[in-house]
Amino acid sequence: MTSEQPLPRRLSGWLNARLGRATVLSYAAAFLAPNAAHALRESTAHVVGTRAGLPTLLLTVILFSAAYQVTSQELAASLRHPKVVAAGLAAHLVTPFVLASTAAAVLSMTGAAGSADFVPMALALVATTPVAAGATVWITRGSGDGAAMISIVVLSALLSPLTLPATIGILDRAGLLGQHHTSFLAAVSVSTRGFLTLAVTLPCAAGLLCRWLSPPLAQKWALDLAPLVAMLAVLTLTYVNVSAASPLLELSSVPALLLAVTSACAACLLAFHVGRRAARLLRLPHEAAATVTLACGMNNVSVSAVLATTALAAEPYLLLTALAYGLTQKVAAHRAVRCTRRSANRPGSPGGAAGCRWPAPIGSRGLRPARGTDGFRSRWRSPRGSSGVRAIRAGWHRWSPRLRR
């Protein structure tokens, strides 16, 4: 069956199975051979009357290819579950406020607000970008709602020119972005809206429109080629972006380097935890819970990395934080998908993020109610599924004679 598939589809399947190792090789090549990446980053091209650099063009290709693979039937199927789509978008929009406020509180408590003033800005930039298109791939590996995830990715990309500057402005008025962020806010307000419109919103809309208008023969050929083109563009963009962060790896910048990596890893885990808590509060089933969790934790790091290297080049540690967040979110997404799949396969499980034990949500241990066949919470069961009432009775019969003595 595999030999009958076209060559581009076979190559994309082979590369998709080894995408993690290919990403590591892209990181290594950026540090071992940065000169070629610098030349690629400085190259420009004229597209539709505008002059765009290679990172912007690669980002456009990635988003166009991802949107072209979405069918109108899949978007229509997500409308059957509007609660999941609305919950995913709302949780994604709330996550930047949680991350920025937590970072500002930790920095003020530790007294490192002066030297680490870039941390709230970097986390706000990463968390306000659209949901990563790779979330649609991770959701298929688990038991999540793939149609709703596709809609969340597309809608977050289409709305990003409005949501990203508005979120940054609210965080600034709340005083959560530090003290030295004047250039950051100026760049966001002036160039980011236009950049997101040209490099994010228009490619997504063009991909959806071309998929709808293309004839069947051209559609079949494009669908065989689009995944391979997208993955090659992702690897090339990773190579170009990582090479821009290689000058930061100097002995004098080791404390800031460690701070950027540590804050990115902690913020990524916190974002996934926010998604799990939101799914638990909304009492969503395990399919919807996986969708909301990935919508909170997975952000389009390519958008934030291109923004950091073009519009926000004066803040070099923003790029380093974005790259560290991108590596962490792949590991966290793999763990979240495994936990959700384990929760879905567990008999008598109430579903959702409650079955995930990493990190263990507050109050998740101990006895919890499980639904019976009549739809009501008729029994009390422990997380392992054994009867809690029997355990209490066994303990009472064991210790009551000693207590009477």
pLDDT-based confidence at 370, cuts 50/70/90?
very low
Helices (H) and strands (E) in the chain, counts: 18, 4
pLDDT digits 0-9 by tens, 31-49: 888 888 778 777 766 565 5
Radius of gyration of the chain (CA): 23
Query: What local confidence, expressed as pLDDT, does residue 366 receive?
Result: 41
Q: What percent of the chain has pLDDT over 70?
A: 71
Q: Are residues 315 and 394 in the same domain?
A: no
Q: Are residues 380 and 325 in the same domain?
A: no
Per-chain mean pLDDT for the chain: 75
Residue 326 confidence (pLDDT) above 60: yes
> The whole model's pTM is what?
0.71
Q: Are residues 223 and 259 in the same domain?
A: yes
Residue 325 resides in a domain: yes
Q: Which of 78-92, 295-309, 377-391 has the lowest mean pLDDT?
A: 377-391
Q: What percent of the chain has pLDDT over 90?
A: 3
Number of compact structural domains in the chain? 2
Q: Are residues 223 and 257 in the same domain?
A: yes
Query: What local confidence, expressed as pLDDT, does residue 157 receive?
Result: 86
Q: Are residues 318 and 393 in the same domain?
A: no
**How confident is the model over 376-404, as a mean pLDDT?**
52
**How confident is the model over 174-186, as a mean pLDDT?**
64
- Which domain covers residue 387, as residue numbers? 368-404
All residues at 6 or more sequence positions from 300 whose CB lies less than 8 Å from its CB, including other chains: 129, 130, 131, 132, 133, 157
Query: 389 or 202, which is more confident?
Result: 202
Q: Are residues 68 and 190 in the same domain?
A: yes
Question: Would you put residue 111 in left (φ > 0), alpha (ψ -120 to 50) or beta?
Answer: left
Q: What is the DSSP letter of 299?
A: B
CA 329 to chain centre: 6
Residue 161 resides in a domain: yes
Q: Are residues 293 and 398 in the same domain?
A: no
Q: For residue 121, give the CATH number of its domain.
A: 1.20.1530.20
Residue 119 resides in a domain: yes
pLDDT digits 0-9 by tens, 225-264: 888 888 888 888 888 888 877 766 654 567 777 888 888 8
Residue 258 resides in a domain: yes
Residue 183 confidence (pLDDT) above 60: no
Using alpha carbons only, give the angle 9, 132, 308 rounded to the nearest 5 degrees.
Answer: 115
Q: Are residues 278 and 387 in the same domain?
A: no
Query: What local confidence, expressed as pLDDT, does residue 141 receive?
Result: 64
Give the integer Cα–Cα distance in Å for 404 and 10.
Answer: 73
Residue 127 resides in a domain: yes
Q: Are residues 396 and 252 in the same domain?
A: no
Residue 360 resides in a domain: no
Residue 175 confidence (pLDDT) above 50: yes
**How confident is the model over 85-104, as a mean pLDDT?**
89
Residue 110 resides in a domain: yes
Residue 1 resides in a domain: no
All residues at 6 or more sequence positions from 117 whose CB lies less than 8 Å from its CB, including other chains: 178, 179, 180, 181
Q: Are residues 348 and 385 in the same domain?
A: no
pLDDT-based confidence at 369, cuts 50/70/90?
very low
Query: 5 or 111, which is more confident?
Result: 5
Query: What local confidence, expressed as pLDDT, does residue 135 receive?
Result: 81
Q: Are residues 211 and 346 in the same domain?
A: yes
**How confident is the model over 302-322, as a mean pLDDT?**
76
